[in-house]
Amino acid sequence: MKLTDVDERAVTRFLPGDVLAILALVLVGTVQHGTLNPQHYAGVLLPFLVGWLAAAPLVGAYSSRAAESSRAALLLAAGTWLLGDLVGQLLRNTSLFPGNADPTFFLVMFLVGALLLSVVRFGSLVVADLVGN
Distances (CA, A) of 133 to 9, 44, 67: 9, 35, 11
State whether the Cα torsion 97-15-110-1 is positive or negative: negative
Across the chain, which has 133 residues, the per-10-residue mean pLDDT values are: 83 97 97 93 97 97 96 97 97 94 95 98 94 80
Look at residue 1 in the predicted model and tell me its pLDDT.
59
Q: Distance (Å, rounded) from C-alpha 4 to C-alpha 59?
A: 11
Predicted structure pTM score? 0.93
Look at residue 129 in the predicted model and tell me its pLDDT.
87
Rg (CA), the chain: 15
Our CA angle for 36, 40, 42, nearest 5°, is 105
How do the residues of the chain divide into helix, strand and coil, expressed in percent and rounded to 5? Answer: 75, 0, 25
